[in-house]
Structure 1
Amino acid sequence: MFTFVSGLLIGIFVSLIGGGGAALYLGVLTSQVGLPTAVAVPTSLIVALPALFFGFLTQMRVKNVNFHIGNQMIIAAIPGIIIGTVSAKFIPQNLYNWIVGSIFLVMGGMVLYKFFRNTDKTQTSQKRWMASLFGLLSGLMVGIGGLSGGATTAAGLAILGLTAVEAAGTATYVLTCMSAISLIGHLFTSTFAWQAGLVIMLGAILGSVITPLVIRYLDLNKVNKVLTPFLGLLIIYFGIKMFI
């Protein structure tokens, strides 16, 4: 029961911020289920993907997905995933943590700056290359470290001018595609704990489906005023954690 509730809460949480939640799933699988890390990492990917997919379908139904920007990020992410996967074994973990942590700190700061300055002067041409840049960064992080591109994707979308709700919905779409690509490689090289991941997966799917349906009945301006600074602070927190 605790595992199901954990999956439900994670599904709700990642639907709000537009992340993949792999790190959270990984924590439950290792600390609560007792899986070894080598098995928990690919299993967390299996757990996260269905929740992302069903969350994406719900976000699409309530029209929170910007496919134009999302597609630009996905196209740019594909070479990033390939490059990251190939180069991962040559990058020391400490160096990877510092690189990712620095990116998180900068992007979290940009989200907060943009929110408190309340400006959106980014031109269409700038948004195009910025979307590609954020997609490439997310792809590199997915390829190197698994499903760790969620914060970069959500932050990039917020910086591009999407509301927190739109950023979360579009990030769900982008991460679903990137996770599916990453999963293909793991299917041939990794061991999965299917039974252990099933319960948390069901909870996560439920959480990812009900959250967008509930949010649309709320005052979106008030939701954005809470979620956007929360997203920025959360990304900064993730960045600090990478240095610890």
Structure 2
Amino acid sequence: MEYLIGFIIAMFIALTGVGAGTITTPLLILFLGVPTSMAVSTGLVFSAAVKLVLVPSQIARRQVNWRVLGFMVLGGLPGVLLGSLVLSHLATAGSTKIMNGLLGAILVLTAMYQIAFSFRTVSTVQDPPDRVRWLALLMFPVGAEVGFSSAGAGALGSAALLSLTSLAPSVVVGTDILFGFLLSLFGSGAHLLQGGGVRQALLRHLIIGGLGGVVVGTISARYIPRRPLRFALWVWLFIIGAQFLYRNAFVSMHW
């Protein structure tokens, strides 16, 4: 089961450029019963490991815009540290219901935004104004979301790049994958330094399955359309987030 989860998540990442923390953390909590804080830490480490495999190929293909990445990192890294601190504080206080409720809200809001974004009209402007500097501000809450839930780097990062830059789709994917890798690496380090736990055996199984998923996803990417897969991912994310909120409210009512 753990190998299969790693395989599916990594394949989605290779096919769509998103899905590492977005899929990993909810699956670990709902299907494997991993505590929320540990699931987030494990999701961040797994995301970093999978994207480490993808990053070299994106750089080799020159699909990373370093100037844009610099502005994203400028806001994203302080944000992921803040999110990690908040999660660590809630975990220490034993506020499981609060963590799960916030995680559910994050998943639902992210999904709703992405579903709406999927129906946006593509701009016909050839040379849009340069709004890259706004990325530093926008990536701070994205980083905080990643630090708290491990979700959002790929989804919200790519949406911001498509909205604020004129980068080609392949460069958007490459830049966002490297940004997500840096956030996952920095966030997992912050979690571990604050005493966040990671299940070593679980992580190892996820990574082994993930390596196969990366290979299959990379080979299949040229044959499978990216847009329908992303839309299906957002619908699934909305359902999972709503389940988190429902379960949290149901438990609270019966407390």
TM-score range relative to shorter protein = 0.7 to 0.9
Confirm whether residue 110 of structure 1 aligns to residue 114 of structure 2: no
Structure 1, unmatched stretches of 5+, are none
SS of aligned partner of 2:131: helix
Contact 2:44 2:184 in 1 (8 A): yes
Amino acid at match of 1:5: L
Name 2:191's counterpart in structure 1. Answer: 186
- Of 162-171 and 138-147, deviating more is 162-171
- Equivalent position amino acid for 1:106 in 2: Y
Matched, 1:168 2:167: no
Secondary structure class of the residue paired with 1:119: coil
| CA positional deviation for 1:43 | 2.2
Does residue 142 (structure 1) correspond to residue 146 (structure 2)? The answer is: yes
Deviation by residue 1:23-79 (Cα, 9 ceiling, x = unmatched): 433355456655444533322322221111111112222333233222221111122
1:207 aligns with one of 184, 205, 213? 213
**Aligned partners of 1:81, 1:132: CA distance in 2, in Å?**
13
Residue matched to 2:249: none
The offset of 1:5, in angstroms, is 3.5
Q: Distance in 1 between matches of 2:28 and 2:189?
A: 21
Q: For 1:58-69, what aligned pairs fall within 5 Å after superposition? A: 58-69=57-68
- 1:86-138 CA-to-partner distances (Å, cap 9, x unmatched) read 44557955466446633542354234314xx3535563432332x22442231
- Identify the range of structure 1 (137-146 vs 204-213) with the bigger mean alpha-carbon deviation: 204-213
Secondary structure at 1:40 match in 2? helix
CA distance in 2, matches of 1:19, 1:196: 21
Distance 2:212 2:63 in 1: 18
Q: Partner residue of 1:70?
A: 69
Contact 1:108–1:233 (8 Å) recurs in 2: no
- Partners of 2:18 and 2:184 lie apart in 1 by 11
Cα distance in 2 for residues equivalent to 1:34 and 1:241: 15
In structure 2, distance between residues paired with 1:196 and 1:165: 32
CA distance in 2, matches of 1:29, 1:97: 14
| 1:18-97 alignment runs, 5 A limit | 18-30=17-29, 35-88=34-87, 89=89, 92-93=98-99, 94=101, 97=104
C-alpha distance in 1 between matches for 2:72 and 2:141: 9
Count, aligned residues: 233
What letter is aligned with 1:112?
F
**What is the letter of the counterpart of residue 212 of structure 2?**
L
TM-score by length of 1: 0.76
Post-superposition CA distance 1:137-175 (Å, at most 9, x none): 311211232344331112222333444443332221001
CA distance in 2, matches of 1:104, 1:231: 10
Is contact 2:40-2:148 (8 Å) kept?
A: no
User: In the TM superposition, what is the alpha-carbon distance from 1:18 to its structure 2 partner?
Assistant: 1.8
* 8 A contact 1:43–1:192 mirrored in 2: yes
Kindly provide the amino acid, as one letter, of the partner of residue 85 in structure 1.
Answer: S
> 2: distance between equivalents of 1:180 and 1:198?
16
**Deviation at residue 178 of structure 1 after TM alignment:** 0.5
Contact 2:17 2:176 (8 Å CA) reproduced: yes
In 1: Cα distance, 2:12 partner to 2:230 partner = 11
Identical pairs, percent? 20
The answer to whether the 8 Å contact 2:72/2:139 transfers is yes
TM-score, scaled relative to structure 2: 0.73
Match of 1:157 among 158, 161, 181: 161
